[in-house]
């Protein structure tokens, strides 16, 4: 999946499959946006994703990716994975597989109401500046969705943070119409 815009100078990013100019929302978005440019814009809050594209992506996103099989029935883990998937972040695929090349976010259960979030690269937990850049983007997304987070720390050489699920009724359920005035300060 990649990002594109309807107009050359548009700040709204539409999601589309490779080989097409049709966005997931049905609009024609012929102007491709470089993946790094899109990620930086989303992290900086200068670009926003199309709400209907977000919803279409969430319905297409594999619900069993981004977590280990042992956490498959954990509601907190599934909610955290949903937050990151709706925001367009790549989940680690099949993180339990031997000799995996999984790359993306990994959410693990640690206690009721909280999860540990890290990033996998080539099947192992990432650390350092590259991992922390993505973890900061994840943290920003969780905060937009009403979650609390810890600071980034290292655990057994892996950079990670803890995300705390909001109390019932306080969780934001969608990132559609994301605008700067909706962001936490």
Q: Note the pLDDT of residue 139.
A: 95
Neighbours of 181 (CB within 10 A): 4
Q: Output 158 or 171, whichever has higher pLDDT.
A: 158
Mean pLDDT of 30-52: 83
Q: What percent of the chain has pLDDT over 70?
A: 83
Tell me the C-alpha distance between 29 and 6, whole Å. Answer: 4
pLDDT tens digits for range 85-114: 888 888 887 666 655 677 889 999 999 999
Beta bridge partners of 163: 115, 149
Closest by CA position to 151, among listed 143, 3, 184: 143
> Given pLDDT bands bounded at 50, 70 and 90, which one contains residue 172?
low
Q: Note the pLDDT of residue 91.
A: 87
pLDDT value at 160 more than 70: yes
**Strand-strand pairing, 104-111 and 124-125:** unpaired
Q: Please provide the size of the chain in residues.
A: 185
List C-alpha distances in Å: 32 to 38, 81, 89, 92, 170.
10, 27, 18, 25, 36
pLDDT tens digits for range 124-153: 888 888 889 999 999 999 999 899 999 999
Query: pTM of the predicted model, to two decimals?
Result: 0.60
Closest by CA position to 89, among listed 68, 120, 128: 120
């Amino acid at each position: 999946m990649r990002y594109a815009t309807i107009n050359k100078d548009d700040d709204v990013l539409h999601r589309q499959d490779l080989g097409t100019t049709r966005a997931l929302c049905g609009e024609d978005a012929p102007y491709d946006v470089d993946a790094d440019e899109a990620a930086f814009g989303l992290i900086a809050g200068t670009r926003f994703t199309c709400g209907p594209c977000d919803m279409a992506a969430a319905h297409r996103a594999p619900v069993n990716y981004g977590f280990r099989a042992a956490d498959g029935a954990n509601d907190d883990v599934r909610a955290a994975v949903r937050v990151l998937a709706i925001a367009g972040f790549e989940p680690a695929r099949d993180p339990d597989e031997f000799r995996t090349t999984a790359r993306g976010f990994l959410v693990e259960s640690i206690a009721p109401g909280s999860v540990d979030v890290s990033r996998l690269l080539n099947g192992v937990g990432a650390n350092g500046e590259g991992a922390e850049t993505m973890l900061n983007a994840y943290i920003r997304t969780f905060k937009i969705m009403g979650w609390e987070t810890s600071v980034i720390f290292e655990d057994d050489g892996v950079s990670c943070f803890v995300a705390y699920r909001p109390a019932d009724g306080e969780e934001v359920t969608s990132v559609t119409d994301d605008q700067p005035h909706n962001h936490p300060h």
